Amino acid sequence: MSEISLNNVCKSFGGVQVIDGISLDIESGELVVFLGPSGSGKSTLLRMIAGLETIDEGELTIGGKRSEHLAPGQRDVAMVFQNYALYPHMSVRENMAFGLKNIRMPKDEIERRVNDAARILEMDALLDRRPAQLSGGQRQRVAIGRAIVKEPAAFLFDEPLSNLDAALRVRTRVELAELHQRMQSTMIYVTHDQTEAMTLADRIIILNDCQIEQIGTPMDVYLYPNSRFVAGFVGSPGMNFLQAELSGTAGKQQAKLGDGSQIELSVDLGPGAYELGIRPEAVRVSATPAATTGTATVVERLGERTLVHLRLEDGTELIAQDGGHSEVKPGDLVHLTFDTSQLHLFDDKGRAHHAK
């Protein structure tokens, strides 16, 4: 049974529609990430599940119980806020116990839950400190601890790592993944950072323009984006897009690029003008003449790989990936090969068609 189910939910602020008929089922124990650019409605959707925003239309079920009319505290969900929202005048212990005291939970049970959560998050020594005496990472743990003690049906995370520095973000991300594996609880995680989404999610829900653009596992949305938006949004660096003219018969076609070069591919599409998408790792630098050539403009050395920014003859810009010890320098003329199995064509409506 789904732990959380949304059925055709809508939300508007004034006359502006921000969530437009979204339906979604989240399974028990699943970690689902809402991913999308600013203004896509991901945080609003999370807040609607939490009860911090009303649901104008549609149904919300949490743990089998209709919940759209319930107050936030009665929905059996716990939220971790972007700014942690730890009460500054309370100790860590009081912060964690606050929600439990409000429902008149017996003191010994509160004590047990707080101590258990502190042990899970390895913050036993912090319990008597105030939030101001904690580092950013420690505050983040307390915010998670405050959610854990409630033993909710689902955890809601609203961009919880965005206030941490880069190194701490990576570490906390791993800790969150471990926590999820250990607790096997349902989690919804909102982020605009696709690396977080890819590394944490069982399923990613990509939102764009008030609607769900795609639902899938991280590799699904990465390898088989179903729209140009998803293709461009997921992946860092982003997918390369080139104008292409498709000709030939189904199963054996040629895509003619702007610089005149031709790529052979197989895709279920008729002839016509399309946008061709290919990820940087599917564009390789070749020592011998290959599909096309480009002039290197910028070379980014990332250690284990090198990203080569190129300009093709017709001015199209492209990123190719080379090995860590690449010898390409800016200004070099570079031969490029395309992995045709990783090509995507996008029609004029932005729908994706994947090469075979």
Partner 1 sequence: MTPTTIKRINWVGGIFTVFTVICAILWAFPIYWGIISSIKPEDEVIRPYIELWPETLTFEHYWFALTETQIGTWYINSIVTAVGVTVLTVSTSLFAGYAISQLRFPGRTALWWLILASFMVPTQVLIVNHFVLMADLKMLNSWAGIILPQLIHPVIIIVYKQFFDQVPKDFREAAAMDNASEWDILFKIYIPMNWGVTTALSIVIFIWAWNAFLWPFLAVTKTEMMTITVGITQVFDAFGVYYARQLSAAVLAGFPVALAYLLFQRRVTQAITLSAGIKG
- Using CB under 8 A as the criterion, which residues of the chain lie in contact with partner 1 when the complex forms? 50-52, 71-74, 77-79, 81-83, 85, 87-89, 98-99, 102-103, 146
Q: How do beta strands 333-338 and 343-346 pair?
A: unpaired
Output the smallest distance, CB 3 to partner 1, in A.
18
Comparing CB distances to partner 1, the nearer of 50 and 121 is: 50
Q: CA torsion angle for 226, 227, 233, 235 (degrees, to 10)?
A: 40
Count of CA atoms in the C-beta half-sphere (13 A) of 24: 30
Comparing CB distances to partner 1, the nearer of 4 and 345 is: 4
Residue with tokens 């502190």: 118
Output the smallest distance, CB 311 to partner 1, in A.
46
Output the smallest distance, CB 131 to partner 1, in A.
11
Output the smallest distance, CB 175 to partner 1, in A.
21
Comparing CB distances to partner 1, the nearer of 74 and 135 is: 74
Comparing CB distances to partner 1, the nearer of 185 and 261 is: 185
Output the smallest distance, CB 159 to partner 1, in A.
12
Which of 103, 183, 109, 172 is CA-nearest to residue 143?
172
- 98 class by beta-carbon count within 10 Å (0-12 exposed, 13-18 middle, 19+ buried): middle
Q: Can you tell me the distance from the alpha carbon of 307 to that of 182, in angstroms, rounded to the nearest whole number?
A: 37
Q: Can you tell me the distance from the alpha carbon of 68 to that of 12, in angstroms, rounded to the nearest whole number?
A: 15
Comparing CB distances to partner 1, the nearer of 110 and 318 is: 110
Comparing CB distances to partner 1, the nearer of 78 and 176 is: 78
What secondary structure, in 3-state letters, does 196-237 show? HHHHHCCEEEEEECCEEEEEECHHHHHHCCCEHHHHHHCCCC
Output the smallest distance, CB 70 to partner 1, in A.
11
